[in-house]
């Protein structure tokens, strides 16, 4: 949920993984399969696959489960369900914009189900382009504060690797880049020995909507319902939501 602070987002996902590990692993495996099918099985030359594998490792997926997913994707077994990336756009209560990233095997089944989730939770599914203009698709790396790490050093390392913005906060920095430069930025941080807590492609809102507690809770309920759907990978909103 991009409307959350990035730090709340990471903590929320870790909590979700602990609570529903099996479903999370299934979704992450699907992302690995799709990435390997699209760009090849070698993460050195497939940045999207590398991100998907890293997400799997962060969720404590067994190594053999990750390897099987890579092989399944690289083998492109036509008897397997062919998943495709799809983005759904809509509105939550309070006029909050919602971007839903999904990997879909049956469009005729998934679209009505996503629409029903919006309808049942006080939102509405829009057409393509209805809210995407309120977000930027960016690479984002979270770098926590650490002894000996200055903002000047961080700038020097990441800007040389292609990052175009560094946003500071109480808990650390968000390093932003074009999606295609995310892997280079992450590699530069690793080479410099700078620890980071998460690297992802995200839809980041250009502005955020202020919500009263009741509306925020209703938006959070819609987001949670969307995240429960098997085909949904990530949900982004342009509002601050309660801690998970």
> Which DSSP string do the residues of 169-214 spell out, in sequence order?
-SSEEEEEE-GGGHHHHHHHHHHTT---SEEEEEEEESS-B---HH
Question: 223: closest CA among 199, 244, 201, 203?
Answer: 244
Do the strands 84-92 and 124-125 form a parallel or antiparallel pair, or are they unpaired?
A: antiparallel
Q: What is the pLDDT, as a whole number, of residue 82?
A: 81
Q: What is the pLDDT, as a whole number, of residue 169?
A: 77
Q: What is the pLDDT, as a whole number, of residue 198?
A: 82
The CB density around residue 88, as the number of other CB atoms within 10 Å, is: 26
**Helices assigned H by DSSP within the chain:** 6-19, 21-39, 47-58, 63-75, 107-120, 151-160, 182-191, 213-228
Quote the CA–CA distance of 6 and 208 in Å, as a whole number.
13
Q: What tokens appear for 40 in the block?
A: 């090849």
The torsion of the CA quartet 89, 173, 177, 69, rounded to 10 degrees, works out to: -70
Do 34 and 86 contact (CB within 8 A), yes or no?
A: no
CA–CA–CA angle 77, 33, 70 (5° rounding) = 90
Q: What is the pLDDT, as a whole number, of residue 2?
A: 42
Beta bridge partners of 176: 140, 165
The tens-digit pLDDT sequence of the chain (244 residues) is: 444 455 565 555 555 555 566 788 889 999 999 999 888 899 988 888 999 999 899 888 999 999 999 998 888 656 567 888 999 999 999 999 999 999 999 999 999 999 999 999 999 999 999 999 999 999 999 999 887 899 999 999 999 999 999 998 778 999 999 999 999 999 999 999 999 988 899 999 999 999 999 999 999 999 999 999 999 999 999 998 876 5
Q: Domains in the chain, ordered, with CATH?
A: 6-75 (1.10.10.200), 84-133+209-237 (3.30.70.980), 134-205 (3.30.70.980)
Phi–psi pair at 216, nearest 5 degrees: -60, -40
Tokens 């342009």 belong to which residue?
A: 238
End-to-end CA distance of the chain: 11
The CB density around residue 151, as the number of other CB atoms within 10 Å, is: 12
């Amino acid at each position: 949920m991009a409307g959350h602070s990035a730090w709340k987002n990471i903590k929320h996902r870790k909590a979700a993984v602990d609570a529903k590990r099996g479903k999370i692993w299934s979704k992450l495996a699907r992302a690995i399969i799709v990435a390997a099918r699209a760009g090849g099985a070698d993460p050195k030359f497939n940045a999207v696959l590398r991100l998907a594998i890293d997400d799997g490792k962060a969720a404590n997926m067994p190594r053999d489960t990750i390897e099987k997913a890579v092989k399944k994707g690289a083998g492109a077994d036509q008897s397997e369900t062919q998943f495709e990336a799809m983005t759904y756009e809509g509105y939550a209560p309070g006029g909050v914009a919602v971007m839903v990233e999904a990997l879909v095997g049956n469009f005729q089944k998934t679209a009505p189900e996503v629409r029903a989730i919006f309808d049942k939770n006080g939102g509405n599914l829009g057409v393509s382009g209805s809210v995407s203009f309120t977000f930027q698709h960016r690479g984002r790396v979270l770098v926590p504060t650490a002894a000996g790490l200055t903002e000047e050093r961080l700038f020097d390392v990441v800007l040389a690797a292609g990052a175009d913005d560094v946003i500071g906060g109480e808990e650390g920095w968000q390093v932003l880049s074009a999606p295609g430069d995310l892997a280079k930025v992450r590699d530069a941080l690793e080479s410099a020995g700078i620890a980071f807590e998460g690297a992802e492609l995200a839809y980041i809102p250009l502005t955020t909507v202020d919500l009263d507690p009741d509306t925020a809770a209703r938006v959070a309920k819609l987001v949670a319902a969307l995240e429960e759907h098997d085909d949904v990978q990530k949900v982004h909103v342009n509002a601050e939501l309660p801690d998970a």
